[in-house]
Structure 1
Amino acid sequence: MLHKIAGTYCKSIWNILGLMCGFSIGLNCFEKGLSISHIGTIVVNHEAKIGENCRLHVCVNIGTGSPQIGNNVYIGPGAKIFGKIRIANGIKIGANAVVNKDFYQEGKTIVGVPAKYIE
């Protein structure tokens, strides 16, 4: 019984802090090392799985479909990521990119609507 009360309390605090900072981030989506560069609108679906040392900027939306994002991924301002997709380790996602397909090449940069690799 006590653990249910504690869990409810923690979720309430999590939601209040999210409202204060403009975040809506599901619990346990991120591994260690998350970096959020600015206070502002960030939405992360509770089914998404994001690896270690991810850096997020303002107005990022990681939406439905359970995206799986690797380690050391940079997600630029305004990026939208959705669908049942996988993103490799070390990918850099440019500002306002719309990512709706898999990207398997590690350490590359993707930009555009829809997103694609650049050299």
Structure 2
Amino acid sequence: MSQSRALLALTLAATVLASSGCFLVAAGAGAGAAVAYTNRGATAQLPLSVDAAFEKAVAAFGANGISETGRATENQGALRTLTGTRGDLEVTAELKRESDRVTAVEVIAKKNVVDYDRDFAKRVLEEMAK
């Protein structure tokens, strides 16, 4: 009976997470980061300053053949954005300072207004987490 309830609870939790558009994909992708899919890409909390995470984003873009098209900094460096293209994809890395040592990152790989390549976004983010 106890196993049935545990399985039911696990199933319900998985359903709620999956229907919210954000569920855990890979734990320990690197440096203690857990990478999760979002509706548009992938997200993680990296144990890095915003500046260090931005440098990792630049390196990950290069490693994945993404040609940089723009950079932006807002709120005295607490928010940073890196954009680029690879083939038919427009790739964006959005970085937000959570603390001096933690940066929230979302990578979005957009094909067009409604189509996203979440697997490619995850690959770029995993490269940043190395």
Question: Which TM bucket (shorter chain)?
Answer: 0.3 to 0.5
TM-score w.r.t. the length of structure 2 is 0.30
Q: Going by fraction, where is strand more abundant, 1 or 2?
A: 2
Specify the structure having the higher radius of gyration (Cα): 2
Q: Going by fraction, where is helix more abundant, 1 or 2?
A: 2
